[in-house]
Structures are given as C-alpha cells and as structure tokens.
C-alpha cells in the first residue's frame, strides 16, 4: 500500500508541475527589480497572472509520505519566456490600490508624519518584493499559502487551515497562524547597491501526526501436540544342527544320588561323576529328557517367568530397533480414551510441556529415555527394560499390567506443538485517538542582496533564525506525549543558534540602515551597469535557487538557516546553506501484550497397540549340549536307579555337564513392529492488547544544501543526519515489538535535476502564438535506513506542456522505483490537464503497479470568485489519513477566491460508504 502512496504523491506533484507552467510563462516577462521599492503595488499586481494554476492539493489523496513536493518539484517562474495571452477571464472586482506616496524632496517638519510616510514606503516595498520574489522575502519557516503574497502594509495576520470531516470525526490536518507586526518589518536600500530585508514575527501551527488505536482481543485457542510411538523387535535364532529326543515313563523303585561343584565365576567346574557300586552292570541307562517348558512362552517357568530358568546363553536373543521413552505417568489420566483429562502433575512427571502460543515461552516436550536400542538377552536380569521384556515374552500380563509396560516400551517422538487453532474471537476497541503537534516559533529573517557596480551579478547572504518549542498532544483526552514533544522541540531549539550568527556585512548593513531610518533619510539609488532585464534575471534566478532548496530539502520544518555569501548572475546561480529543524518521518509502530491462560490437557487422539504389541512366541527345543559351546562355572549330577520287581535296574543320570542335551527356545512369532500416535490438546484463553500507531515523527535534523542553476539546467543536492531519542517508542506505543523497526540515527541524501526547455511558436504576424515547454526531471532519494514506510526511491518524469490563447494542456508520463530492505517496487504513472478559455478545466491521474488507481476532476469557473466541479476516484485515504485503500470516492468541488483576504476550496462527497468533507483555505487580516 505504501508504494501507492508514494506514487500518489508523485501524481499531485506532477499536477503542480504542469499547472504551474501557466504562471511561469505569464510572469516571465515582468521586469522585476528590488531596486524599485516604492513602485505602485497596484501596477505591479496588474502585471501578475490573475489566477494561480497550481492544482488543488486534494486532487490526489494527501498526507502520504513522501509529500508531493518531495517527489516532483513544480516549476518556478521562467523570466525568459514570452507572455502568451491566457484564457479570457472576467476582470477582478476589487478596487485598484492607491499608489503609495513618494518621498517628498523637502523635509517634513512633523517627525510623526515623516515616520508614518517612511513606514508606509517600507511596508509597500516588502509587499512588492514578496509578490515578485516570494522565496527571497519569505518571512515564515515554510512558505504558507497565505504568505505567498506577503503584504505587511495591509495585513499582519496570516492563517492557513486544512481540515477533514468523516465518520463523525473532525480532524485538523494542518493549521498555521502567523503574526507579523508592521513595526517589526524592515526594508532599506543602502549605498553601494545594498538591499537589506528584515522580518520578524510569531508563528504557531498544528500538524497532524497520526492515529493511535488500542484494541483488546479475547480468544479461545486450541493447542495440540502429538507424540509418535515407534518400536521394532526381532528374535535371533540359535545355531544348532539336530533336534531329537524321546521320553519314557513307568512306575519303579527310585534311588537318587546327587552331587554339585560350585566355583567362582570364570572358573570352569569339572564334571560331577557319580560311582554307584550297587548298580548292576546290566542296568539299562535311560537318556534324561530335557526340560522343554523352560524354553517355551506359554509356560509358567518359560515366558511367564521371563525365561529365568534358561541358561543365559540359551535365552532368546532380541534385537531392539529403537530406544524407549517412559510415558507411564500419563496413566494417571481419567482413562485411555479420547477426552480423558490428564493432571498437570502427570504431564510434568512425563516431561510433557506446552509453550505460550504468542511468546514461545514454556517447556518443550522431552520424555525421559529409559533404554537404548541393541541386541539383548531376553531374560530376567539380562534385559535393561523390564517393561519392554514383559510386553515381548510374558503372555500372562493382564490389561492394566500391559498398559503400564506399554507406555515404557516405545520410542515416543515429540512432533511439536501445532499452529494454534482459534475457536472464538472477541474484539473490543478500547481507545482510538489522534495525535497532533502544536509548535510556537519566533521567525527572524535577515537578508542582504548586493549588486555589483560594474558586472551583472549580485551577492546574496541570509540568516534565518526560527527557534521555538513543540508539544505533541491528543485532543481527545488532553494527553501530552513527552518523548515526541522533546524530539520536536530539540529540532526547533537548534534554530536558536542562528540568532547569534551575525555575518559581518549583513550585520553592519542592518545597523547602518537602522541608523538611516532613525534619521529619516531616503533610500539610496542603485548604481550599476547591469540592465533592468539583467537585474530581473538575477532576482528570478535567486528566487528559483531558494525555491528548489526549500522544496527538495529533507527538513520539513526549518528552525534555522544560513546561506553563505553566494554569487548570482543572469545565467548562473549557486547557493550553499546549512539548515537545522525537524525531519518528518513516517512510522508504523505496533505493540502487542498478551496474557495466556492455559486450559486442561486431554487426550484428543489415541492410536495405540497396547493390547497386541509384542507377545513373541517361543517353543523349547532340546539341542545337543556339545553344540552350544557352554562353559558353565557350576556343575551338578544326580543318578536315579529304578529297580523293577524282577530285579531289573534302570539307571538315569542327570548331569549339568552331560554331553547329552540342553533346551533352546525357538521363535514361532519372532518379530513385531509398532507405529502408534498420541495427541494431546488443551483449550486455553488469551487476552491480547494491541496498540498501533501510524503517523509522523518530527525528528531533529541538520542538513547541508547546495542548490543552483546554469542556463536551463536546475539542480539541488542536500545531505543530512537526523536522530531520535528513542527509536523504539512512539506516543503510547512503549515498545515497538511487532511493527516496522525504527533506528535512532539516520543519514539521508536527496538530489534533483531538471532541464526546462521553453520554445516559442510564432504566428503569421510574427507574434508569439504558443509556448511549448519540455521538462525532463530526475529525483533521487537515498537513506541509510530505508524501510517500507521510508524507502529510497528514484523518480523519472517528462512533462510536455503547451500554452496558447484558447487553451492550455499538459501531459506527464513517469516512472517511479522504490527500494527498501532488498525489495524493489516499480510503478508507472501518467498525469494530464486540459484547460479551456471558458474556464472549464479537466485533470486526471493514472497509476499502474500491482494495482490500478485513477482519479478525475472537472472544474468550471462560474464567476470571478466562484468555481464548481465534480471529482471521482477509485481510492480514499485510510482512517489514519496516512495511506490509501481501494474505495470509490466521488462528490462535488467548490472553490472561492475572495478579494477580502480569504480563499478556500472544499470537496463534499462519498468516500467509500462514508460522507466526507475536506476544507482547505487561507485568510489574511
């Protein structure tokens, strides 16, 4: 949106550029000379164009950054252009002003009469010079609309106002009041071709700074996080060759002999040999059957006892693919079902945390690791996670036991907290206020212009001091902001330094002229070899240089200026200045303060394999002992002799070191894998206070300026530095934690160059028939701290304007390129104006970037003082008056230019769905 604002300001500036051509051409033939101070004001005004062709500032939406004059500078008057008869206008109805009396040669005896006569001459001289050279005489900090014609002989007070009414809100965009008492204005012509001008007064102003809006937002927000449970297990087969064996049982007499050797670990035990002397040589030896149950899953001394009765070397080998995490505290919930609430103590024990959705503060979820992956012996005491071992091999667990073991058997991976889901929002506008800036200054302007006696040139020296102070306030609550008041006041107080700057030539000339005034001496004459036309060209080139210096400056409100002695010729001028004051910088600050009230955590999704994961199945199988490679440190033996009634003996030897058989569990269901998911949710409440400011900051700045012209070329270059006492705060936005960041110090560079080529087209009678002006312009602005609100930019435009006796028209295409934070945004634009002899005029503007904006205005002169028309555009200013937004706006235009000291222009119509009135005007009294 901001680049549209920039381009919009380009549009307005170009209209000013185009429409001021008429004034530039019409006034170019005037013979203007500061050396004729008592020339009749009425005669002078009769030579000036009757109507100012500068476009009304509301043709395009205002209060945008940069301002129109900061983008494209309107053309000053061209003294070399011939006069072309303007479209006919009725004569003004105001009476001709009386010609001021000339100083009589004989002395006047009455000193009071003499003083009054001399004062009248001085005031008329200032008024005449102001009409011709407004920027040379300008008494105010910035040239006000009402002081473009400074007439101290008639008025002491000058007022400008720009106000807007919309949505039941009356806003003052800008208000200026200047008071210049007649006794404080001074003008004199001294010997040696010196002209001094000194003006003093008071100036007060109100500037719109921006809008601050405070909004409170209450929301119900759902937070969700998930844990992904993974586990994979396999049983590894034992190497063996043959599996065989047989079993036989009968009822016999039993004789048992036992023996045991138990060595320390690592010391192999020798076989226990039992010698039974009572055993018959014919006894039949029976191979001992292996204990197969100890190697089977579904037996009490097998899987149910976690294979603790097997030799460790014979126990199942299990490959655990993932580590395990312990979430057993979650079983303290109301149950394993969706919606079951979980106590906060259980979450803390399981190391499950929630983060604040606004600040990111809080604990992360990180379940405790209970075991690592690896190849493990599936036997009690040999497996490092008893819960996982039970899940895998113990078929006797009930559901409660399985759940407990299950929550410590998987690798629970936190998937993080999802983006918050807003369930309900309630917005309350807590406060809405507009900020303004009140400033009070004491402008004091001192000027010395000295013409060379032999060469066509003049030397210009000026010191302007405008110290003051400023207060930033809100009309709604009468609140004063200390920070912005201090920022702006510092910029104004810097101008106080120039009150003590007293260039020698300027100071001596003023003192000498005051002495001559006290003695009631007449003005001295101008004695120079330069012609009247040459002096007029010098004056106009000086005025043009000051015009470009002021309109391209980076300082919005000047509190002090010194122009070092500068040489001006009819074809060349160069001015060097040091300026201080306030730079206006656009700021968009946003502060948010949120309070998060968490809710109760509950299961929102359960995808569990707690009932069927694991349950690996094994069956015990006898294997020849010699094939196992066992080296036990313990050995035992038992011999059982069974004697039948007929004396037949049967012998069975049981020996741990017997080379016969051992039991090995063989996997039946040898693997399993789990992909499970747990989702936890909570519904919390947030209370957020959003404080947003969009508007202007007036910051202290110091600037160096070089402005001048050579032939048809004009240029201006200025560079400065500004600072902010606190770049992170603006009005009630104490901390700009979300909006565009603002630095505390910045450096800027602005430059402008244009070429004014005026061509005269003569008619068949040899008289000028038309004037065509070709004006290419280039404007560049660089900043050390560009952002989207204050970008660096380049603007290139070309104006073609034609003026003839029955109509005037102009066309201006252009290209605008802005840069901020590695982002380049181009825009193209076109401006046009057409004005007929009847007083009917049309103005239009087009803008093309990623959006399209247009405006059209028609105005008809109804009488000497009244004009009326229509306007329509597809945009309007936002509520903050800073940016634009798409909305159809249309209405009527009324303009009044009275001869009684005031002029105003108003637009009344619809702005989107709101009724809007805009009033701009000035008044002298």
What is the C-alpha to C-alpha distance for residues 818 and 795, in angstroms, rounded to an integer? Answer: 9
Tokens, residue 877: 């200013």
Residue appearing with tokens 């007029």: 536
- Evaluate whether 557 touches 582 at the Cβ level (below 8 Å): yes
Q: What are phi and psi of 518, to 5 degrees?
A: -65, -30
Run of H or E including 366 = none
Quickly tell me which residue has 């240029």 as its tokens.
715
Contact status, residue 441 vs residue 468, Cβ threshold 8 Å: yes
Token pair for 663: 């039991």
CA 711 to chain centre: 43
Q: How far is CA 792 from the centre of its chain?
A: 15
| pLDDT of res. 48 | 27
Q: How far apart are CA 712 and CA 755, in angstroms?
A: 6
DSSP H or E stretch at residue 120: helix 111-132
> What local confidence, expressed as pLDDT, does residue 902 receive?
80
Structure tokens at 124: 């008329």
User: What is the per-residue pLDDT for 56?
Assistant: 32
pLDDT of residue 381: 81
Which tokens is 398 given? 């009930």
Alpha-carbon span 48 to 151, nearest angstrom: 15
What local confidence, expressed as pLDDT, does residue 319 receive?
Answer: 77
Phi-psi label, residue 335: left if phi above 0, alpha if psi -120 to 50, beta otherwise: left
Rounded-to-integer distance, Cα 491 and Cα 503, Å: 23
Q: Where are the domains of the chain?
A: 219-263+282-423+597-620+635-685
Rounded to an integer, what distance in angstroms lies between the CA atom of residue 712 and that of residue 721?
31
**What pLDDT does 511 receive?**
95
pLDDT digits (tens, 9 = 90+) for 48-78: 233 333 333 322 222 233 433 334 444 544 4
In this prediction, residue 126 carries a pLDDT of 93
Give the position of tokens 């000026």.
Answer: 462
- Which residue's structure tokens are 């230019």? 897
| Strand ranges (E), 490-611 | 557-568, 572-597, 601-607
Angle between helices 399-406 and 386-393 (to 10 degrees): 130
Q: What is the DSSP string of 18-73?
A: HHTHHHHHHGGG----TT-TTS-HHHHHHHS-SS--SPPTTSS--S-SS-HHHHSP
Rounded CA separation 127/390 (Å): 106
CA pair distance 304, 406, nearest whole angstrom: 17
Other beta carbons within 10 Å of 62: 21
Compute the CA torsion angle 341, 342, 345, 347 (nearest 10 deg).
Answer: -140
Residues of the chain predicted below pLDDT 50: 1-74, 76-106, 239-252, 254, 289, 291-293, 295, 659
Distances (CA, A) of 305 to 300, 569, 672: 6, 114, 21
Closest C-alpha to 472, from 437, 517, 445, 506: 437
Of the candidates 92, 98, 94, the residue with the CA atom closest to the CA atom of residue 153: 98
- Distance between CA atoms of 508 and 448, rounded to whole angstroms? 10
Structure tokens at 291: 């204990």
The Cα-based distances of 439 to 220, 486, 515 in angstroms read 46, 12, 35
Contact 72, 14 (CB under 8 A): yes
CA distance 159 to 141: 14
In this prediction, residue 143 carries a pLDDT of 59
DSSP character for 285? E
Its sign, for the CA torsion 472, 474, 478, 481, is negative
């Amino acid at each position: 949106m901001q680049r549209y604002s920039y381009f919009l300001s380009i549009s307005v500036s170009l209209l000013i550029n185009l429409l001021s051509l008429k004034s530039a051409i019409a006034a170019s033939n005037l013979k203007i000379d500061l050396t004729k101070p008592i020339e009749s004001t009425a005669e002078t005004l009769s030579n000036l164009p009757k109507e100012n062709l500068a476009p009304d500032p509301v043709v395009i939406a205002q209060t945008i950054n940069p301002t129109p004059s900061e983008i494209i500078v309107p053309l000053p008057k061209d003294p070399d252009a011939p006069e072309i008869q303007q479209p006919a206008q009725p004569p003004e109805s105001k009476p001709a002003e009386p010609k001021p009396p000339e100083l009589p040669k004989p002395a006047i005896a009455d000193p009071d009469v003499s003083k009054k006569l001399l004062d009248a001459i001085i005031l008329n001289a200032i008024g005449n010079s102001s009409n011709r050279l407004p920027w040379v005489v300008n008494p105010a900090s910035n040239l006000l609309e009402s002081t473009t014609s400074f007439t101290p002989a008639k008025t002491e007070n000058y007022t400008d106002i720009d106000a807007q009414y919309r949505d039941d809100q009356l806003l003052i965009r800008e208000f200026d009041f200047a008071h210049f008492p007649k006794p404080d204005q001074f003008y004199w012509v001294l010997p040696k071709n010196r002209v001094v001008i000194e003006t003093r007064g008071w100036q007060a102003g109100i500037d719109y700074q921006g809008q601050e809006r405070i909004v409170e937002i209450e929301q119900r927000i759902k937070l969700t996080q998930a844990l992904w449970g993974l586990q994979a297990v396999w049983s590894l087969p034992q190497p063996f060759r043959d599996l065989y064996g047989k079993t036989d049982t009968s009822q016999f007499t039993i004789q048992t002999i036992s023996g045991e050797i138990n060595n320390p670990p690592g010391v192999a035990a020798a076989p226990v040999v039992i010698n039974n002397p009572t055993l018959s040589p014919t006894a039949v030896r029976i191979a001992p059957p292996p204990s197969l149950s100890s190697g089977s899953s579904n037996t009490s001394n097998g899987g149910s006892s976690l294979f603790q009765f097997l030799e460790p070397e014979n126990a199942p080998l299990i490959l655990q693919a993932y580590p395990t995490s312990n979430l057993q505290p979650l079983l303290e919930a109301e149950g394993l079902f969706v919606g079951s609430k979980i106590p906060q103590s259980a979450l803390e024990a399981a190391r499950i945390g929630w983060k604040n959705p606004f600040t990111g503060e809080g604990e992360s979820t990180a379940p405790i690791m209970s075991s690592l992956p690896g190849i493990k012996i599936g036997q009690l005491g040999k497996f490092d996670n008893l819960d996982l071992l039970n899940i895998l091999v113990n078929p006797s667990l009930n559901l409660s036991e399985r759940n407990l073991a299950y929550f410590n058997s998987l690798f629970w991976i936190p998937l993080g907290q999802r983006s918050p889901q807003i369930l309900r929002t309630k917005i309350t506008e807590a406060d809405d206020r507009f900020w303004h800036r009140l400033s009070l200054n004491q402008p004091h302007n001192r000027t010395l212009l000295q013409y060379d006696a032999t060469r066509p040139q003049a030397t210009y020296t000026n010191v302007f001091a405008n110290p003051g102070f400023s207060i930033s306030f809100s009309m709604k609550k009468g609140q004063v902001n200390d920070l912005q008041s201090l920022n702006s006041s510092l910029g104004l107080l810097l101008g106080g330094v120039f009150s003590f700057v007293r260039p020698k030539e300027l100071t001596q000339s003023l003192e000498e002229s005051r002495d001559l005034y006290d003695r009631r001496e007449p003005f001295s004459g101008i004695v120079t070899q330069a012609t009247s036309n040459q002096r007029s060209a010098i004056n106009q080139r000086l005025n043009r240089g000051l015009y470009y210096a002021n309109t391209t400056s980076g300082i919005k409100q000047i509190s002090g200026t010194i122009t070092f002695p500068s040489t001006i010729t009819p074809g060349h001028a160069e001015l060097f200045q040091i300026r201080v004051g306030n730079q206006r910088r656009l700021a968009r600050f946003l502060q948010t303060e949120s309070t998060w009230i968490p809710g109760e955590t509950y299961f929102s999704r359960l995808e569990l394999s707690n009932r069927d994961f694991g349950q690996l199945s094994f069956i015990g199988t006898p294997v020849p002992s010699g094939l196992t490679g066992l080296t036990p440190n313990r050995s035992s033996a038992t011999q059982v002799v069974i004697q039948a009634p007929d004396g037949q003996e049967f012998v069975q030897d049981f020996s741990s070191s017997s080379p016969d058989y051992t039991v090995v569990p063989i996997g039946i269901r040898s693997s399993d894998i789990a992909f499970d998911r747990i989702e936890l949710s909570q519904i919390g409440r947030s209370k957020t206070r959003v404080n947003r400011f969009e508007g202007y900051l007036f910051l202290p700045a110091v600037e160096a300026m070089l402005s001048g012209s050579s032939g048809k070329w004009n240029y201006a270059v200025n560079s400065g530095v500004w600072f902010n006492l606190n770049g992170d705060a603006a009005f009630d936005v104490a901390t700009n934690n979300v909006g565009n960041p603002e630095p505390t110090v910045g450096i800027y560079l602005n430059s402008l160059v244009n070429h004014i080529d005026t061509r005269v087209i003569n008619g068949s009678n040899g008289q000028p028939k038309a004037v065509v002006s070709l004006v290419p312009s280039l404007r560049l602005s660089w900043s050390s701290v560009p952002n989207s609100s204050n970008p660096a930019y380049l603007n290139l435009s070309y104006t073609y304007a034609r003026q003839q006796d029955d109509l005037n028209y102009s066309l201006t295409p252009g290209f605008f390129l802005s840069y901020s934070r590695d982002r380049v945004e181009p825009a193209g634009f076109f401006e046009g104006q057409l004005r007929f002899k009847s007083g009917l005029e049309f103005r239009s503007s087009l803008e093309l970037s990623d959006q399209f904006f247009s405006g059209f205005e028609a105005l008809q002169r109804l009488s000497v003082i009244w004009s009326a028309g229509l306007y329509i555009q597809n945009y309007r200013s936002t509520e903050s008056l800073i940016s634009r937004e798409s909305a159809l706006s249309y209405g009527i235009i009324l303009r009044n230019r009275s001869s009684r000291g005031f002029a105003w222009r108003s637009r009344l119509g619809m702005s989107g769905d709101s009724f809007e009135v805009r009033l701009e005007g000035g008044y002298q009294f």
